Amino acid sequence: MAVTIDIDPENTYETNWDFVLNNPGYTAALDGVVQAEGIEVITFRDKPYLIADHHIGNRFSQLTTCEQIYEWVKDRGPEEDKFEPGGELDLNVLGNHMDADFATSVSVLRHKKEIFSNLEFLRRIREQVNVEGSIDRSLAFFDIEENMWARFMWLFDPLYQARFKQGFSNFSPEDNVALFEEVDKRFVKYYRGEGRIKDPWGDYEVLHRGGNWRIARETGPDARRKMWHDKRPVMHGGQGVELYILLKEERATGKFDYTMVAPRRNASLGGLKDHFNGLEEDLIEKGKNQWGGNLNCIGSPRITGSGLSPSDMAHAMNELDLNMRIRVPKKFRV
């Protein structure tokens, strides 16, 4: 019995019960496999299922997946845990993308007994989960303390090397598992006090721009800290950017991977999500392969990628409004 993982863009389900009915018991759906608010354990035919996600609503107001998993593990004793029928955690974790939130979630589950048996281990993991939560919740528009950021860079360097220098679209499910195992080894060293530091690296290149939006390519994990400064109002030394459309990768198929981020707590990108789904009707499979996300962050179809080039994206944005304002529903205004 152990914690195993299966990472594949095809691991996407429209509802909790769609996930449950199509998988065996002792399976977890984490970080976007099922879009949900919060963590839930479902028992079906005497078998438990775990779901944790934060991709609905306003992500600034939600715990990230790793924070949910940490709190869930902390609050449950082994004798109560339905996922430990033989005294050891028995769980196959489904993911549809590799990032620091997913990797941290799985590592906390995998090593929970050792982590929670030592106060110093627990302190380091609590700190790391809190930092990852703040980074993920803020879409990485977060001004983190330099030494902690350097430790974070080392911990997730295999992931960042894969994302920015190789491209995830070239990864098979087996490659993703091998990548997680590399990160997991560093995770263990980190909480045991054997972690290292690595200098932050990366910037961003603007490909197209509008009045308050930018289409950009990130070149490394430090890019969004630099964007964080540029999103400030012009009067405060920034550029007043309200929306970044980030080109993550151009696939060998000619398709593109994007993330759209609106680094404001009261933003709403629902209209843009619907608009781009309408532009790519030939690619869209509802609940499986589509532009999706929450109020602050949306991404292109995970299975196929987007058929829109950066120039096409810029044209679409200009068609919407040369000086687009991110629409803010009344209930989210402050």
The ranges of the chain annotated as CATH 3.10.310 are 204-332
Q: Is the dihedral of CA 158, 224, 37, 300 positive or negative?
A: negative
**What 8-state DSSP symbol labels residue 235?**
G
The CATH class that applies to domain 204-332 reads alpha beta
First CA to last CA distance, the chain: 49
* pTM: predicted TM-score of the whole model, two decimal places: 0.84
For the chain, how many residues are written?
Answer: 334
Provide the token pair at 249. Answer: 């990768």
- 64-115 pLDDT, tens digit per residue, is 999 999 999 887 654 346 777 766 778 999 998 889 999 999 999 999 889 9
3-state SS, residue 161: helix
**What 8-state DSSP symbol labels residue 13?**
B
- 149-181 pLDDT, tens digit per residue, is 999 999 999 999 998 888 877 788 889 899 999
Answer yes or no: are the C-beta atoms of 11 and 28 closer than 8 Å: no
Q: Give the model's pLDDT for residue 79.
A: 36
Provide the token pair at 75. Answer: 């609050």
